């Protein structure tokens, strides 16, 4: 934590700091590249990265199949397929048939037959996972390429993972590093020639966290404030008079004019509770002026009146407004 008291600023200083978790996310190079596009409030860009986010989470879900041990692989494959689009595949239907047979051991003559049945299911569905990963990679790369061509820009916001598959059964063996091991199918993997290596492009976990925690919106609002010649701090924890630290999305200040206000960024509907919570933070920190920026297209008149009574302005529909209009709505 540090005392923040800019030179020439006559308002009371505040004690601020940023969580290490958040610092690590913001220091990721792909996240930095994402912020530097200055397209965070571009509606088309928002649709693009929202779509890639969904696909990237499925990619990582597919990667996680390597973490299960041999005895649990069949059960974990079942769970994995029920949580992804692969549940609509023909191989998954075969998978369910085999699972039903395994629930009635009397239908299987011996333990070897049972193992063969399980291995058949694993091979079929590992092949389906491999096919799905390749499809996801193609969709992600095509969407990025199309956007770059339409906008005339170059985006470096994807990470690449090298996925190593067993050539015999198609199970994922490792990510980004070849490892000697015994595969679930019984194959002893000792040489690179026994595996198939495929590059998969996706958002890494830092980028996923950056988007899902709505940090992207805080940087988008930061861009607007800077265009209005207002200095900002993003994602800081501020010590209140109560001794409690409050997370403030954006702290806006201008030493020359000696004012400071706080911003809340919401990628959802603004509710009464949001107004009271934000107002409570400002009172405890010592702020008298606030803004709530939201991607929601409308806010009820009751919520607006409540916000005004707390000296808070609400700026709605930030993804669909012209930048100059957004700048004018900030009255300081």
User: Of 203, 237, 254, at which residue does a domain stop?
Assistant: 203
pLDDT over 90 percentage in the chain: 60
Asked if 31 and 235 count as a contact pair (C-beta separation under 8 A), the reply is no
Task: Return the pLDDT at 70.
Answer: 47
Query: In 152-270, where does DSSP find H-type helix?
Result: 205-212, 215-227
What is the secondary structure of 85-116 as a DSSP string?
GGGGSHHHHHHHHHHHHHT-GGGS-SHHHHHH
Co-location of 125 and 180 in the same domain: yes
Q: Which of 191-195, 236-240, 258-262 comes out lowest in average pLDDT? A: 258-262
**Size (the chain), residues:** 332
Q: What is the mean pLDDT of residues 300-327?
A: 93
Q: What is residue 71's predicted lDDT score, i.e. its pLDDT?
A: 46
> 77: domain range?
29-203
User: Which of 4-18, 98-112, 246-260, 278-292: highest mean pLDDT?
Assistant: 278-292
Domain total of the chain: 2
Provide the sign of the torsion angle of the four alpha carbons 47, 48, 52, 55, taken in this order. positive
Residue 11's pLDDT is 77
**Confidence at residue 76, expressed as pLDDT on a 0 to 100 scale:** 53
Percent of the chain with pLDDT over 70: 82
pTM of the model: 0.84
Q: How confident is the model at residue 119 (pLDDT cuts 50, 70, 90)?
A: confident
Query: Which of 203, 225, 256 is the last residue before a domain boundary?
Result: 203
Pair 123, 74: CB distance under 8 Å: no
Q: What is the pLDDT of residues 40-75, one digit of tens each?
A: 999 999 999 999 999 999 999 888 776 554 445 555
70-94: b (≥16 Cβ within 10 Å) or e: eeebbeebbebbeebebeebebbee
Higher per-residue pLDDT: 142 or 74:
142
Residue 117: what pLDDT? 66
Instruction: From 176, 203, 230, give the residue that closes a domain.
Output: 203
Residues 214, 267: contact at Cβ < 8 Å?
A: yes
> Dihedral sign, CA of 98, 101, 105, 108?
negative
Please tell me whether residues 48 and 163 are part of one structural domain. Answer: yes
pLDDT at residue 280 tops 60: yes
Return the residue matching tokens 């928002």: 46
- Read off the CATH number of the domain in which 293 is found: 3.40.1350.10
Residue 25 has pLDDT above 70, yes or no: yes
Shared-domain flag, residues 324 and 186: no
Is residue 160 domain-shared with residue 235, that is, in the same domain?
Answer: no
Instruction: Clarify whether residues 106 and 166 are in a common domain.
Output: yes
Same domain, 186 and 62: yes
């Amino acid at each position: 934590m540090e005392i923040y008291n800019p030179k020439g600023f006559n308002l009371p200083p505040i004690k601020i700091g940023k969580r290490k978790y958040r610092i690590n996310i913001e220091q990721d190079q792909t996240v930095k590249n994402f912020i530097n596009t200055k397209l965070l409030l571009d509606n088309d860009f928002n649709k693009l990265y929202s779509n890639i986010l969904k696909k990237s989470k499925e990619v990582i879900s597919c990667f996680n199949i390597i973490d299960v041990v041999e005895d649990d692989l069949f059960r974990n494959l079942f769970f994995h397929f029920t949580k992804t689009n692969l549940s609509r595949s023909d191989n998954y239907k075969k998978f369910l048939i085999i699972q039903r047979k395994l629930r009635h051991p009397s239908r299987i003559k011996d333990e070897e037959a049972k193992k063969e049945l399980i291995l058949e299911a694993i091979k079929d569905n590992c092949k389906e996972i491999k096919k799905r990963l390749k499809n996801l990679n193609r969709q992600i790369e095509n969407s990025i390429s199309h956007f770059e061509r339409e906008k005339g820009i170059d985006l470096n916001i994807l990470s690449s993972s090298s996925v190593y598959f067993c050539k015999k059964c198609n199970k994922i063996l490792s990510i980004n590093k070849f490892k000697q091991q015994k595969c679930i199918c019984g194959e002893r993997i000792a040489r690179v020639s026994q595996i198939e290596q495929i590059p998969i492009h996706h958002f890494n976990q830092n980028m996923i966290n950056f988007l899902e925690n709505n940090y992207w919106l805080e940087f988008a609002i930061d861009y607007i404030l800077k265009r209005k010649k207002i200095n900002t701090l993003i994602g800081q924890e501020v010590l209140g008079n109560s001794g409690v630290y409050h997370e403030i999305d954006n702290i806006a200040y201008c030493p020359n004019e000696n004012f400071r206000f706080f911003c809340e960024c919401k990628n959802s509907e603004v509710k009464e509770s949001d107004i009271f919570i934000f107002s409570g933070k400002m009172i405890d920190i010592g702020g008298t002026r606030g803004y709530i920026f939201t991607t929601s297209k409308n806010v009820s008149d009751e919520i607006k009146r409540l916000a005004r009574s707390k000296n808070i302005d609400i700026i709605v529909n930030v993804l669909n407004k012209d930048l100059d209009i957004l700048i004018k709505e900030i009255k300081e």
